Structure 1
Amino acid sequence: MVQKRKIWLPLWLILGLGLAFLLRLPSLFEPYSYGDECIYLTLGQAARQGLTLYGQIHDNKPPLLYLLAALSGNLFWFRTILLFWGLATIFLFYKLAQIFFPKKEKLIKISTLSFAFFSSIPLFEGGVANAEVFLILFTIAGILRIFCGKKQSKWVFFSAGIFFSLAMLFKVPAVFDFVAALVFITILFWDTKKKNYKLPRPPCFATRSGQVITNYFFLALGFILPILASLAYFWSQGALNQYLTAAFFQNLPYLSSWGGSPRLRFGFLVLFVGLALWKRKEIGNSLLFILIWFAFSLFGATLSGRPYPHYLVQSLPSLCFLLAFFFSKLKPKEHLFLSVSLAIFLLTLFYFRFWVYSPFSPYKNFLLFATKRYSQEKYFASFGQKVERDYQLAQFLTLHTQKNEKVFIWGDSPCIYALSRRLPVGRYTVAYHIADFDGFEETASALEKEKPGFIIDLQDETKPFPELREILAKNYSLFKTIDGAKILVLYYIYGGR
């Protein structure tokens, strides 16, 4: 008798992954228009050319995102990596849902399909290669590793720590997901030790103090080692101070530059988590962890007070799990905490005035472009008025400069660097970084020293930079104007270009 093969993935999950693939597919054909992506690609290009990140070119995130951009080389491959990365994240989410909702197929489907949908649509910028979209794979993997460990083993916690560390090396606020796991592990051990009440525990959780201390140690060791490795690397490159400042120390004042009250938000975090822990006897184990995870991840997502939708991707996994709980039989306290959590999320959207992108317009415009009812020019224009100008300026630089020749652009259009594959003079790719990190004097010194053949003044920057104006007046003349942007050429090479 022939034994039937067991299907590896259920049909509904295959269809969900297929839907996510289709929802992300148009992003592969979008133009260079998203500023942050272009910064990542420019730093990736610098890394490919042998420049030291942070020491010779600057941005304010940890290095993994730039290394991924370096690996991809251009926007199409960056987005392609993101597409399959997103599918892998959905699969890991599904495996975690199986642990949180054992033998509850309906809740597994609701949580997984909602995550597949919301993580892929433009509403949360799921198709844009931002750090949050990459890091949630590692936070989910870290939590999954802890909960699916089959036996009490220090290596389970060590590998979980590594996953959380890799998430943080994409973006610092991922540390709050790690803290959420620590809080839950601690309270679970405390209740087991004190025999306050009986909760189902993951098999890898220890019950003896010595084992718990060992597990904590290896969890912390796994978390610290990748970070130490990055510190050692940048120390060897002579850029340790710049790395620490840009990726870690400088992040807090930079993140707070849009105002808001982090202390007030921290107070709400402590209050919410404290209430959940106080009433934990009336809350199931899975829901308790997800509430803690949601609170810490939302705090991390709103740490900067900035209204960018992709920041909320960090909270999306826990939010989708909470949504699924609404379709289960709940105790009164469980229903109360779920309702409060959803209300907090909605209030957060309004309080910080998160930007809302149409979830439908990008698909409509792509279909019009794919069916040749939109020209490329019209399709590109749907992503902003400056896109066509940036492409023209990049084409000019490609034709008039050498591959290894640096240029300088005064303004906030890093896509010109990414498109032309030219690097900036100085460490900064955009004017707002020069202003935010007080890089005026450093940039002016670099311009005086390197004297780039071309400087582009986009004419839309209001921040004063008198040193630049002096350099332009002394050494440069107007060569050409493209859509309002002035291209200035160094005097002594005017005739040779």
Structure 2
Amino acid sequence: MNRDLKLVPNRRWVFPLLFLAAFLIRFPFFFRDYVDRDESTFILVGQAWVDGFLPYTELWDVKPPLTFLFFAGIIYLFGKSFIAIRLAGTLVVAVTAWFTYDLTRRETNRGWGFTAGMGCVMLFSLFGSIQGVMSEHLLMAAYMGGLWFLITQENTLGRLLAGILFGIALMIKINAALPLLLAGGWWAIQQFRGYTISRAIGHLLTAGIPGILVIAMTLFPYWQAGKTQLWWDSVIQAPLAYTEGSASSPLGVWGLTLAVMALLLWGLKSTRIRFGHTPTALFLLTVVGVLWSFIQSGRANTHYLIQLYPALLILLAAFPGRKFNDGIRNYRWALVLLIALIPVESYLEYANIIKNKQEKGTYFNGEGFTVPAYIQAEGLESEKILFLRYHIGYWVLDERPPVKTATHPSNLCKDEMFPYYNPERSTSEQELKYLMETIQPPLVITRKGRKAFDRDRESENAYMDRIFEQYYRLRDTVDQAAIWERTK
């Protein structure tokens, strides 16, 4: 055995170490009210499901049902627990990192495998609003699990499990269809090239049917309730409309795409890796499919990049791993120092929760806690309250958004999706008018010193400014939250 590999933990210790690293990096964020607004939205829809309301019926967001099922399951088992949700997310990160490690190990060696796995933990937990539990975390656990079974378990059971996991991935985030289309299409062609027609068809059926059944199972409760069209509109139509929305930055997406593709082309040219190698092709096509989904939507937000990291890490590890047996030993002390310095965000958050404990007597921090505490202490009316920021406050107050469009506040401004879940009012202008002039929330929560919506939403912000001026007064500010109280 190469003596360099003695520096790498034994395979049975890899998952515990990956989980420990993920836990230490993510633990201080267990106590924050929210890290990204999407996570708060998933929690609200998951809670509504636990309360007996299918996704899209009472509350709505543009994600397939299995995203919400994850949160509903945690809430059902552990109640309203931020710690349980974030701990489950940490486990998901560690699982994805292990799949990344093992697939890299098979292409190179344990040293590069462990490096890729640890890189996955860090990239899934740092640099932006990804310390919470995002749909991309859940998606990649399922997708990389599917790839692992497809590549390493070349038997009927492996194909069945791969199909199930790919179906789950698609019902967590619909844009998984693009990497699945490319990687799955290539794999299907390889089956016909390597086996008889009847055997190849059998392979395709054993992988494809389980995935289709997963999709059908998400449809079944809607069919049973006579809401099949709602499922179709929310799971298929609305995401397609979302990709055509106005909030896009195609220049940045194309810059990212060209940079990644240039890096991959350099790696392929400078090493012995060839596209004909089955795992390499699947990883490459996964990266291309993810980039394609970014181009189609015109967006590459920080949490979107989670979809890119695992396959890209495997390929990047394979490039030097093919030319050099193991470069880790020569740079081990620099690597240790780098790993120690990278989680700066976590160090700052550890300091933040300690400070919060000293000043307020609790580790839990953020306006999602302090605003509800203020409302309850002041005896203010919370029914039909409207959170335009910090909307996890609904969960803390045991309330729901006054309209399902407001489940994620930004959806109030997305005209392109209204036809698929809000037929009564087909534009943002109509919805805001109904919300503010008919429902008339007694309290509206915004961010202190900011407009109600993002700056590019000029007409919506102008309308809200007029409403605040005519019907509301700024009652108080709590941390960074502004509390507007209706006066007439």
Pairwise TM-score range, normalised by the shorter structure: 0.7 to 0.9
Match of 2:140 among 136, 142, 156: 136
Structure 1 residues 52, 290: CA separation in 2 closer, same or farther (over 3 Å shift)?
Answer: closer
Q: Quote how far apart the aligned CAs of 1:452 are.
A: 5.3
> Which 10-residue stretch deviates more, 444-453 or 20-29?
444-453
Match of 1:363 among 328, 342, 346: 346
Contact 1:406 1:423 in 2 (8 A): yes
> Which 10-residue stretch deviates more, 416-425 or 255-264?
255-264
Query: Corresponding residue for 1:4?
Result: none
- What does residue range 429-468 of structure 1 map to in structure 2 within 5 Å? 429-437=407-415, 438-442=427-431, 444-445=433-434, 454-456=443-445, 460-461=451-452, 462-464=458-460
Q: Quote how far apart the aligned CAs of 1:132 are.
A: 0.6
Could you tell me how far apart the structure 1 residues matched to 2:119 and 2:151 are? 22
Match of 1:227 among 211, 215, 222: 215
Structure 1 residues 306, 379: CA separation in 2 closer, same or farther (over 3 Å shift)?
Answer: farther
Query: Corresponding residue for 1:482?
Result: 477
Query: Corresponding residue for 1:64?
Result: 66
Structure 2 unmatched ranges of 5 or more = 1-8, 325-340, 416-426, 453-457
The number of residues matched between the two structures is 430
Give the secondary structure class of the aligned counterpart of 1:485.
strand
Could you tell me how far apart the structure 1 residues matched to 2:69 and 2:275 are? 46
Query: Corresponding residue for 2:176?
Result: 174
Contact 2:353 2:363 in 1 (8 A): no
- What does residue range 97-496 of structure 1 map to in structure 2 within 5 Å? 97-101=104-108, 104-119=109-124, 121-123=125-127, 125-151=129-155, 153=156, 155-192=157-194, 207-257=195-245, 258-260=248-250, 284-301=277-294, 303-330=296-323, 360-369=343-352, 372=355, 375=358, 387-388=366-367, 390-398=368-376, 400=379, 405-409=383-387, 411-427=388-404, 428-437=406-415, 438-442=427-431, 444-445=433-434, 454-456=443-445, 460-461=451-452, 462-464=458-460, 478=473, 480-482=475-477, 485-489=482-486
Structure 1 residues 290, 456: CA separation in 2 closer, same or farther (over 3 Å shift)?
Answer: closer
Is 1:95–2:112 an aligned residue pair? Answer: no
Q: Quote how far apart the aligned CAs of 1:318 are.
A: 0.7
Query: CA offsets per residue over residues 111-157 of structure 1, 9 Å max, x none?
Result: 333323333x3126542211111111111111112122253x3x533
Query: CA offsets per residue over residues 413-433 of structure 1, 9 Å max, x none?
Result: 423323323211111234421
Could you tell me how far apart the structure 2 residues matched to 1:145 and 1:394 are? 46
Query: Corresponding residue for 1:195?
Result: none
**Percentage of matched positions with identical amino acids:** 18
With the length of structure 1 as denominator, give the TM-score of the two structures. Answer: 0.72
Q: Quote how far apart the aligned CAs of 1:223 are.
A: 1.7
Query: CA offsets per residue over residues 129-188 of structure 1, 9 Å max, x none?
Result: 11111111111111112122253x3x5333311101111111112223322331331342
Structure 1 residues 191, 67: CA separation in 2 closer, same or farther (over 3 Å shift)?
Answer: closer
Structure 1 residues 224, 440: CA separation in 2 closer, same or farther (over 3 Å shift)?
Answer: farther
Structure 1 residues 234, 406: CA separation in 2 closer, same or farther (over 3 Å shift)?
Answer: farther
Q: Quote how far apart the aligned CAs of 1:64 are.
A: 1.9
Could you tell me how far apart the structure 2 residues matched to 1:261 and 1:232 are? 41
The structure with the largest alpha-carbon Rg is 1
Structure 1 residues 364, 115: CA separation in 2 closer, same or farther (over 3 Å shift)?
Answer: closer
Letter in 1 for 2:90: L
Structure 1 residues 109, 486: CA separation in 2 closer, same or farther (over 3 Å shift)?
Answer: closer
Query: Corresponding residue for 1:81?
Result: 88
Structure 1 residues 94, 285: CA separation in 2 closer, same or farther (over 3 Å shift)?
Answer: same
Q: Quote how far apart the aligned CAs of 1:477 are.
A: 6.2
Query: CA offsets per residue over residues 91-121 of structure 1, 9 Å max, x none?
Result: 33333334444xx3333333333323333x3
Could you tell me how far apart the structure 2 residues matched to 1:125 and 1:263 are? 19
